[in-house]
Structure 1
């Protein structure tokens, strides 16, 4: 078995894996000033972005959940990998061949399980795509052609064909060196009476990719009447594929979703294809499951969903009763978004794929453009079927729709829809309708907390209910100056110079700050001639534990509260204030000693200490004058 990856190769992986690019595959990042980028944290729910990336130092940190690290740590956390697996994955993407301490290059069989399963899926996708051109795949090509897709379209989306044989894929992957256990673990095969057999047979298959573009599963549509399986068969739950947190087409749509601040949620693989080809490149779909909370988290990160009413999520559903039920289920999840949500329903029940075949690309674009706010759609769906020409019918419709209005968490929006409901019903008594909605709202949410929208607070991750009180006051100006000085030491060590290295760790009031100061000393001090990213990595390597390492990461990402004419001036001010504090302690010690001496009997020692006191008082005055700029 291969040994530890060589340190120089790990450093090369970090160097050739730009953190902004790697993180940007999973969430949208925007300029936060000072060379930093920000986005919505992928590791906890939040309404406003607290996830920061500093490309110059190759680090990320979330000020909401206090998680942070380098590019390798991000891949570990986001894809649940070990350190070695994360390095191997980044190395593969960067084209780096890793060497191990025991010598030689890593053989394929020694790669981590995830890497093996990813590679097996890539080989399977290539196999299926090649099979689509075979004579046997005529039914698959006919299926695509009837839905308006050409060979180039199938190639663009990686559509393939699974032969009707029992072991066609298994034999192919065995020949490529993959073990049976990996094919079963990947969901590409299942155990048969005499060994593994292909999971997908005689079906058209779509590769399902994660946000980074790796194939992690397949969706397969049956083509033959004798196939007694479901119409669509998806990869089962595997170490790679979790259908509740995968969006088909998100890898292709993510850049346009971020640029347009729009996501269009459709119901199937062919619908995604039709939308993209028709000029709606923000379309995505779930993979064999209802749209849920994990899907929302992914979309919010891609949308940078922080500014209310600026972006939009559009759900497309069939116009039949099943489509309406799906839309109402989406309504239950709507208020997890900050941005606006809409529903686009084709009255004749055509889905985007059929709509494109019958009426062309423009009809698909028109469907998306004709969207209705999801709240309005949900309320109107409740009042359909009631006789609004009678008082009894209007009252019954009000009782049916009022609970929907009452469940809107934004108080102002709830009131506006109550007024609209009055108009749609023709009751013409806004106060009556508002009272009815308020009664139901009070009943439904008796103890609801509110957030910035007037709605329920987000159910994001929170820290421990009770945190141990620190032994220092973090709001103490002296402690805050220490923190600023350490930020400079981590981010811009050159502006501090050897004067910083003369300050001992015990001069820092906050124990965590003293620990970071010790790490800086252990790494060689701020005058070590290395670049910004290398310096941050060096400090993290010297950290004695995760707590100190996390603080170093935070200090490397947190903006410096600049307060001066220049970096040099600010650094000088902070150094002066810290040294002034050191001198003040020395003055106090000398005064204490002088108080214990008898000047008549211990003249020589008294005079020496008094001279030192005068010199220190002069030094303190000079330092205080230098440090005025940091106040």
Structure 2
């Protein structure tokens, strides 16, 4: 057995493996000042970057979750490797020849290291690529040419062909010094010596850094006995289907530059998009897109010019496509990015669209993206006959249930407005329906409109929600003062899911006019089945305020007016966003709406200054 790696070799790896280069393969790093770089932590979900890398010290630290260490610690953590495997991997990357102690302590049974598995897959890819030019691969070349992919394109994407005899790869790699065990563990050959892939067109699946981890294979011949038109490498120590995306090695740089990721369904769709200029396209490999895939994408597009980037999914317009959209909608709530969807005409995928209508059509398809929630809501509401009153009620109830299931409070307001518009009801009616749906949520569910605390929602002490918190504190502790000072507070003013739930409880009991100075006010509010909401109401009712005795109206106005000013600002930003996409007569109406909002904001500001 090989001995322990010498400390001198480990130190050489640390020195040559620049931490900023390694980390940037997983995290988008930007200048953080003071000689440090910063980005979103890959070890926990966050929207504001707290992950710092200090190249001069070769060290990283996250102020959010506390993870930290050198380049070896980073790779161990992010790729779930042990110390030895990590050193070997980094040594392979930076060209360090590891030296070991002679006569080291015997080691327990252990499979091939990552370096060997990556090398085997690399050589297999080179072998397959050569075979694409063989006589046996004529069917594979025809498959590509029928889709307008010529030899140059095949080389660009590294395509290959698995020979028909079934043992060529095994023979080739055995001659290069690999053992049967290494080839089996790498997912390239079977125990009996036969190649895993035979008579198939192959795509190399790489990690972001460029290492080949496995292959995707397409059926070409009718007598192919392997099940499935498309199959992928079975899971190995280096290939995990939920942790890989086809095309990520090509797309990662454009993703960082544009803050955009396009998710397509197949390998040829990725090719078609890249050839059409949509170089941010990737695809999952043999599985649906999951939150794990979302984390991979997020590392490259997040924190783009102060935003969290955008993820665009392509779907068919049929029932299967709608079901896929619904699944992504549920997963989408774990993303920080804005999520969009495109549906190609006549059920065409990007590959078909490029073939029929050209590369411009592919670019136009992606540019015509629509918000995912709009697509999902439209399909849901579209199943009802909105010309009938009873169907409108059913559509509103079903749509409200969907909106109430959203965990991200910042999205609920937009979803509710869209629902009201689609069904054709007043916005307040839609808000009431969403609130009612939230209160009917099953035990254990945490819809944004009902939840009060927990890991799914932002901290109740987050400074962003200070005006919401202080307004509710006054409302619960001194409702009569609030009632005299303002009468136009509404649910739209509360963006934290917990605080919105408190306000909706107030509305449920009659609104501001229902509050009284007697001792029954808070107990009545607290009489709810949701324990988190009950606890939050109690907390707000006893949390001290920075005034002694009953607050005056100026104090109340300071919180309520500023809270409403924030609401107006969000509405202004929404109108400005719609203006960017508007055309024709709609532009004039939006400009008028924007002017009205600006006048309201100035009036609110004047009122604050006057008081």
Question: TM-score, normalized by length of structure 1?
Answer: 0.67
- The whole-number CA distance in structure 1 between the counterparts of 2:409 and 2:80 is 39
Q: CA deviation at 1:174?
A: 0.9
- The whole-number CA distance in structure 2 between the counterparts of 1:34 and 1:136 is 59
- The whole-number CA distance in structure 2 between the counterparts of 1:362 and 1:355 is 10
Which of residues 202, 207, 214 is equivalent to 1:217? 214
Q: CA deviation at 1:280?
A: 0.7
Q: How does 1:150-161 map to 2 (within 5 A)?
A: 150-161=150-161
Q: Paired residue for 1:484? A: none
Q: Paired residue for 2:180? A: 180
- The whole-number CA distance in structure 2 between the counterparts of 1:365 and 1:278 is 7
Partners of 2:301 and 2:308 within 8 A in 1: no
Q: Paired residue for 2:205? A: 208
Q: CA deviation at 1:306?
A: 8.4
The 1:335–1:355 alpha-carbon spacing in structure 2 relative to 1, beyond 3 Å, is: same
Q: Paired residue for 2:436? A: 439
- The whole-number CA distance in structure 2 between the counterparts of 1:272 and 1:327 is 19
- The whole-number CA distance in structure 2 between the counterparts of 1:72 and 1:458 is 30
Q: Paired residue for 2:61? A: 61
The 1:407–1:306 alpha-carbon spacing in structure 2 relative to 1, beyond 3 Å, is: farther
Partners of 1:448 and 1:456 within 8 A in 2: no
1:410-434 Cα shifts (integer Å, max 9, x gaps): 44532333232222223x3333222
- The whole-number CA distance in structure 1 between the counterparts of 2:64 and 2:197 is 43
Q: CA deviation at 1:450?
A: 9.7
The 1:44–1:316 alpha-carbon spacing in structure 2 relative to 1, beyond 3 Å, is: same
1:572-594 Cα shifts (integer Å, max 9, x gaps): xxxxxxxxxxxxxxxxxxxxxxx
- The whole-number CA distance in structure 2 between the counterparts of 1:324 and 1:54 is 45
Q: Paired residue for 1:364? A: 362
Q: CA deviation at 1:8?
A: 3.0
Partners of 2:147 and 2:355 within 8 A in 1: yes
- The whole-number CA distance in structure 2 between the counterparts of 1:341 and 1:309 is 13
Q: CA deviation at 1:346?
A: 0.9
The 1:362–1:28 alpha-carbon spacing in structure 2 relative to 1, beyond 3 Å, is: same
Greater relative contact order (Cα < 8 A, sep 6+)? 1
The 1:294–1:456 alpha-carbon spacing in structure 2 relative to 1, beyond 3 Å, is: farther
- The whole-number CA distance in structure 2 between the counterparts of 1:24 and 1:236 is 28
1:45-68 Cα shifts (integer Å, max 9, x gaps): 333322211000111122233222
1:51-92 Cα shifts (integer Å, max 9, x gaps): 211000111122233222111222222222232322222222
Which of residues 348, 351, 363 is equivalent to 1:350? 348
Q: How does 1:271-310 map to 2 (within 5 A)?
A: 271-305=269-303, 310=308
Q: CA deviation at 1:347?
A: 2.8
Aligned partner of residue 66 in structure 2, secondary structure: coil
Which of residues 376, 392, 395 is equivalent to 2:393? 395
Aligned partner of residue 196 in structure 1, secondary structure: coil
The 1:16–1:314 alpha-carbon spacing in structure 2 relative to 1, beyond 3 Å, is: same
* Structure 2 unaligned residues grouped into runs of 5+: 104-109, 460-611
- The whole-number CA distance in structure 2 between the counterparts of 1:456 and 1:369 is 38
Q: How does 1:477-488 map to 2 (within 5 A)?
A: none
Q: CA deviation at 1:343?
A: 0.5
Alignment partner of 1:197 is 2:202:
no
* Structure 1 unaligned residues grouped into runs of 5+: 104-109, 463-631
Structural RMSD (CA): 2.6
Q: How does 1:75-114 map to 2 (within 5 A)?
A: 75-102=75-102, 113-114=113-114
Total equivalences in the alignment? 450
Q: CA deviation at 1:388?
A: 1.9
Question: TM-score, normalized by length of structure 2?
Answer: 0.69
- The whole-number CA distance in structure 2 between the counterparts of 1:225 and 1:248 is 26
Partners of 1:305 and 1:338 within 8 A in 2: no
